[in-house]
A and B are shown apart, each in its own frame.
Chain A
Amino acid sequence: MNPTTPMDFVTLKDMLSIAPMAVMFLISMIPLLMKPLLGNRELNPKTVLLYNVGAVIVAAFMTTTIFGPSFGGKSTAFANAIVIDGITVWMSYLVYLVTGVPLMLAYDHVATRGRQFTEFAFLMMSSAIGMLILIMSNDLIVTFIGIETMSLCLYILVAMSKEQVLSKEAAFKYFVLGSFASAIMLYGVALLYGTVGTTYYPDIWVGVTKMITTNRMFLTGIVLVILGFAFKVSIFPLHAWTPDVYQGASTPVTAFMSTAVKAATFVSFLRFMNSEGYAQAPQLLTVMTWLAVLTMTIGNVAAIMQSNFKRVLAYSSVSNSGYAMVGLIAAGFGANYNGAATSVLFYLFSYTLMTLGSFGLVALFEKNENTSLEVTDLRGMGRKYPWLGMALTVLMLSLAGIPPTLGFFGKFFVFSAAIEQDMYWLAFWGVINSVISVYFYLRPIVVMYMSEDKEAEVLPMHILTRGAVILAAVAVVVLGLLSSPVYALVKKSVVNLF
């Protein structure tokens, strides 16, 4: 018999499965409540940081204790609305990492520290809540709510920089375009609901197998939902907002946006593509292949032409979406979903570490909120700050995909997944693009060590930011060397997906 009252319906298991998220949300509200209670004075930023990073650590600890014993297993909660499996657990850790570190960067950074840091931290944590909803969602409606929670916080976070013109323009652009993309996605969800009758992912997957070739309204729905995802991860025709918004946002927010948003959205995208039925639609495969190829190429070629370091990294993040899309296509249209999905998760993990470190370094260079860091401003830095110089070198080499760094293995697994599914065309363009990208990833290194005409700038002593940059670089090397155990761990998280 179906339960009919909420009390019968929401069980302890349901509550436990969202406990880390709920606790994180509740703790992040404490500083926000303290502010008005203490006479509306801004709290000490250190207190705010401690509460929020503490919340992240508590959530990570709870994730380990609650889900750790059954890691790799799969269960659903709240009437199939959310699913707890290996991917959820694995990506939850990633979200904790990419929320905690940008919070520390924001604490150090001049454009975000100040009279609204309490609200800033709360909104960043809320955005992370949206991501956690997104990665565990098993239902298109929940996915949509996750995306909206994540994005609405981001629109405000982008606008919150102390910089007065560019950040506001970026926020408004992102808001208008993002709402448009959300509307497109919602229309797709409506069409899917109209043809399938439910919005649960497993039903959609069955629908794909049955209807993708026969029912055009269903196909339109699928395409519109894919477009909605594509906007959030900046796939080619919908990538134009990326450089402007990444440049306009304060650097800690950019670090957060370019890593966490992409990782969380890609996971949901992966879940959406988890049907063998997509292989019946070769036209869709062709379109998505070209989107991936164009995303990689346009990202890399445009990055070569940029002189602003933040814009270089923004275009680099566009092209990285293309690489992840290669694995996604191999997962959705190939025969071996688990293998390819593992490669995408591994790629997201490596990309996140590298990008977080790089933006951390950009944050160090910004003396006031109006600084715009050119690549040439890195002159002489390699000798003056050997550790940071070394860290940037490692991060850039890793982004370019030079072995034995983590970035190399990320790309290697993604391209092998494509080759395994006979998608040589994708792998070919992926490799070509990796070669193109070496040019602009090596330029900062060359500037840093080889031009001598100017004395290097004096960098502020931001312990947390410096620590994050150096730790990211160390992690990139160490995890690169240990890539096969890490890969096995990710694989274990994916293996029981069905």
Chain B
Amino acid sequence: MLTSTDFLFYVLAFISVFFGAAVVIARNPIYSAMSLVITMISVAFLFGALDAWFLAGVQLIVYAGAVTVLFVMVLMLFDLKHEMKTFSKGLLGNGVKLIASGVTLGMLLVYIWSTYATEPTFKPLPPAATSSIKATKDLATSLFTDYIFAFEAIGALLLIIAVGAVTLSRITGGTHHADS
């Protein structure tokens, strides 16, 4: 029986997959970036449907808000016509890509479907938090206790990458070196 939650899930899942595909299929990078925004928003709603309101908010603010806007701004700095010319067009190449991704997708779907078919009862979800504030607090507690090492390591990683990005902007040469 299709409940309203199920219905919401299917709609959001369809939107996120459809626009996720559009990110890679669209020729114009701006369309890709916009599709990415829609994917992010629908994933944020999916988090919301799971009562993970904090994650939903972070997803909206950080990814849909900040990151994608940055993407679009950087895209404006490029010569888009030049970039679009570098797409490979051949029918054979595209066919091979389609077949490869189709086979992988099919394999994963069959595996997941057969798992559900043979093992209908899955590990029960942890009890849903009573309020969104409690859920956020639980998340914070596990981040700063169970996952503190991973959390701090990511902090170090961000610092390293900031240094790396600055370094990278100042090196000489590049793959487009010849045509500039």
Contacts and interface: CB of A to CB of B under 8 A. Distances in A.
B167 A156 contact: yes
A439 B112 CA distance: 47
B160 A164 contact: no
B148 A9 contact: yes
Interface string A204-229: 00000000001111111000000000
B68 to A, nearest CB: 18
Given A217-B112, A220-B108, A145 B153 contact: yes
A167 interface: yes
Nearest to A142: B150
Interface in B124-157: 141, 144-150, 153-154, 156-157
Interface in A397-448: none
B146 A168 contact: no
Interface stretch (B12-20, B55-63, B168-176): B168-176
B123 interface: yes
Given A156-B167, A165-B177, A172-B175, A9 B145 contact: yes
B140 to A, nearest CB: 10
Nearest to A17: B149
Contact of B175 (A153, A165, A217, A219): A165
A29 B102 CA distance: 47
Given A116-B170, A123-B167, A6 B119 contact: no
The listed residue with most B CB atoms (<10 A of its CB), out of A77, A119, A130, A148, is A119
B145 A3 contact: yes
Interface in A224-270: none
Contact of A159 (B148, B171, B178): B171
Contacts of B112: 216-217, 220
A149 B152 CA distance: 12
B115 A116 contact: no
Contact of B115 (A18, A156, A216): A216
Q: How large is the interface on A (under 10, 10 to 19, 20 to 34, 35 or more residues)?
A: 35 or more
B150 A164 contact: no
Interface stretch (A65-73, A78-86, A477-485): A78-86
A377 interface: no
Given A216-B114, A216-B115, A10 B148 contact: yes
Given A10-B148, A164-B177, A214-B119, A148 B171 contact: no
Contacts of B107: 220
B75 to A, nearest CB: 18
Give 4 nearest A-B pairs by CB, closest first. A164-B173, A78-B149, A217-B115, A81-B149
Interface of A: 2-6, 9-10, 18, 25, 32, 77-79, 81-82, 116, 119-120, 122-123, 126, 129-130, 133, 139, 141-142, 145-146, 148-149, 152-153, 156, 159-160, 162-165, 167-169, 172, 195, 197, 214-220
Given A3-B145, A145-B154, A156-B164, 15 more contacts: A81-B146, A81-B147, A82-B149, A123-B163, A130-B157, A142-B149, A152-B160, A153-B160, A153-B164, A159-B171, A162-B173, A165-B173, A165-B177, A197-B123, A220-B108
7 contacts: A79-B146, A116-B170, A129-B156, A159-B168, A159-B171, A168-B177, A220-B112
Interface of B: 107-108, 111-112, 114-115, 118-119, 123, 141, 144-150, 153-154, 156-157, 160-161, 163-164, 166-168, 170-175, 177-178
